[in-house]
Structure 1
Amino acid sequence: MGGPAIPVAVIAGFVLFFSWGIHWRGRALRRRGIRTRARCVGTRNENGRTELLVQFSVEGGSKRVAVGPFKWPPASVGGTVEVIYDPQDLSNVLMPDEIGTGRVALLLTIGSSLLLLFCVLAIVITFATW
């Protein structure tokens, strides 16, 4: 019943969910992101990767967020890095070279949407003829 369409649909659903989120977060930063300098106020190390805890000024105060992970962090505690943040979602912060054009995430979103649609159709047809 459904054959391989069910596990493929589940995988396509996960890819769609994550690629959609990556596409929209990057799109928000490309459209309305504000570039600013942030001061590194701490680090977290896990599995050979380092996340930087950075603090930067926003309208009405300051914000602390983690950026990364990095194999080789671009700054140490007390140093500064350039970040781009979304003024409508202050948790959406990336380094400028991490934003990209969004084409890969958009292609993954479109491809996984089509694959999910075909899988659902195959499952419906299989159950209708069962």
Structure 2
Amino acid sequence: MASNHDTQSHDNHSAHAHDEHHIMPLSTYLKVAGALFLLTFLTVGAHALREHFEPFAAIIAFSIAAVKAYLVMAWFMHLKYDVPSNRIIFATGFIFLALLFGICMLDIYTRVFQGPVL
């Protein structure tokens, strides 16, 4: 009876073998961190040049932020190696967030600029 129990527990353990953590090399983390720093500098540069890209400034800033969010989720949160259902849940949330931002941006461009009051 004890041998049956040992075999069953071993089979249960084998069924969950796909739940192991994915270990990534330090070089991957450093490359992703470097890309995040580069994108941060690109965001600062785009902000400095926003007068030249006025109609597209918000779209450029949100696009850079979306790429940075993808890098963080894919590699630092290990979503790249997770089950597809988790990716679908994350993607659905971000699609609705993008829809919310898009609707808000439509309203921003209908506003009339007013100078300072004082």
Considering the TM-score relative to the shorter chain, is it more than 0.5? no
The structure carrying a bigger strand percent of its residues is 1
- Bigger relative contact order (CA 8 A; separation at least 6): 1
Higher helix fraction: Structure 1 or Structure 2?
A: 2
